[in-house]
Homo-oligomer: A and B are copies of this chain.
Amino acid sequence: MADLTVCVGNIPFANPVIAASGTFGFGREMRNFQNLGRIGGICSKGLTLLPRDGNPAPRVAETASGMLNSVGLQNPGFTSFLANELPFMIDLGCRIIVNIAGNDPEEYLEMCRRLDATSVDAIELNLSCPNVKEGCMLIGSNPEMIEKLVAAARQVTKKPLWAKLTPNVTSIADMARAAESGGADAVVLINTLLGIAIDRKLRRPILRNNIGGLSGPAIKPIALRMVAETYRAVSIPIVGVGGIMSGNDVLEFMIAGATAVEVGTANLIKPTACQDIIDEIRAIMELDGVSEVGQYTGTLELWNG
């Protein structure tokens, strides 16, 4: 029987498949489609200290093998989340990661502090949301700010800290190194790529927010390259995200260097995506004669010359 368990830092996961932030809500709706106790983990929708309305609609534009979104971190706010959503999530029976996005460093720290007292399994510092004007991506494209923020968060919580990075930078490896120096337990890459879609007739962006974040299979080759690049730059675990649609995709990310992965847009196309992907991984391991899924991680052999 294939062993799908992996450890990200010290936390064991039943399998490497985690639902990505913003594509799974808080798990309430997805319960109708699959047994959430069987997936590796769920990453909450991105949370801000105060409730956020998010951006006006349209918030989605379809692109070739992908989509742009400009949700803009609509969420009930951190306090309401702790009271109304977290207890429900904890009961789901899988690992729970909480994705937080601050308007400024202090907001991140405030949320970290308050999460320290909960039973969440890890905190994902969203340093990469492209859909809000403040904080987030600004911090995420500056290594010094990343290191400082992660180090400060490290001081206020014992929870594992995952730094979720933006691909909209010249060197993702530099950002990952900064997160590592700051004391991050893992880096999560990638968040969405900045893009725009235009309505020719209206001569307007389709998204009311003008720009949005590109996700889906279109970005997979970029995400995979960034994981492979970062694997050579840091020694903390990498959680790979970007365009994963199948079990084979997951194993490609692991071969490139990921310890676990997050599945995002696939959930929106197929509500059973996470469960199906886990089943596919199991079948492929059988085929490949691999008994422990962790044996894939970082086994990419580069061609030389």
Listed in ascending order, the chain A residues whose CB lies under 8 Å from chain B are 56, 61, 63-66, 68, 141, 168-170, 193-198, 200-201, 203-205, 207-211, 214, 216-222, 224-225, 228, 243, 248, 251-252, 255-256, 284, 288, 296, 299-303, 305
In the complex, the answer to whether A222 meets B193 with C-beta atoms within 8 Å is yes
CA distance A217 to B170 in the complex (A): 22
Main secondary structure of the interface of A (DSSP, over half): mixed
Partner of A205, one of B169, B300, B305: B300
Please state the number of chain copies in the assembly.
2
With contact pairs A64-B217, A218-B64, A255-B203 given, residues A196 and B56 touching in the complex (Cβ less than 8 Å): no
- Apart from A65-B218, A196-B256, 19 more pairs, CB < 8 Å: A63-B217, A63-B221, A64-B64, A64-B220, A65-B65, A65-B217, A194-B222, A195-B221, A196-B224, A197-B221, A200-B252, A200-B255, A200-B284, A203-B255, A203-B300, A204-B302, A207-B303, A208-B303, A214-B222
In the complex, the answer to whether A224 meets B197 with C-beta atoms within 8 Å is yes
With contact pairs A218-B219, A222-B214 given, residues A201 and B288 touching in the complex (Cβ less than 8 Å): yes
Top 8 nearest A-B pairs (CB, nearest first) are A195-B221, A64-B217, A218-B218, A64-B65, A65-B65, A196-B225, A198-B252, A169-B170
Residues on the B chain within 8 Å of A256, using CB: 196, 198
- Contacts A/B (CB < 8 Å), 28 sampled: A61-B221, A64-B64, A64-B66, A64-B243, A65-B66, A66-B218, A68-B221, A168-B170, A195-B224, A196-B224, A196-B228, A196-B256, A198-B252, A198-B300, A200-B248, A200-B255, A200-B288, A201-B288, A203-B255, A203-B301, A204-B302, A205-B300, A205-B303, A207-B303, A208-B305, A211-B225, A214-B221, A218-B219
CA distance A68 to B222 in the complex (A): 10
CA distance A141 to B305 in the complex (A): 24
Residues on the B chain within 8 Å of A207, using CB: 303
With contact pairs A248-B200, A252-B198 given, residues A210 and B302 touching in the complex (Cβ less than 8 Å): yes
Residues on the B chain within 8 Å of A214, using CB: 221-222
CA distance A208 to B303 in the complex (A): 6
Partner of A210, one of B61, B66, B255, B303: B303
Residues on the B chain within 8 Å of A217, using CB: 63-65, 218
A194 to chain B, nearest CB (A): 5
In the complex, the answer to whether A220 meets B300 with C-beta atoms within 8 Å is no
Residues on the B chain within 8 Å of A301, using CB: 203-204
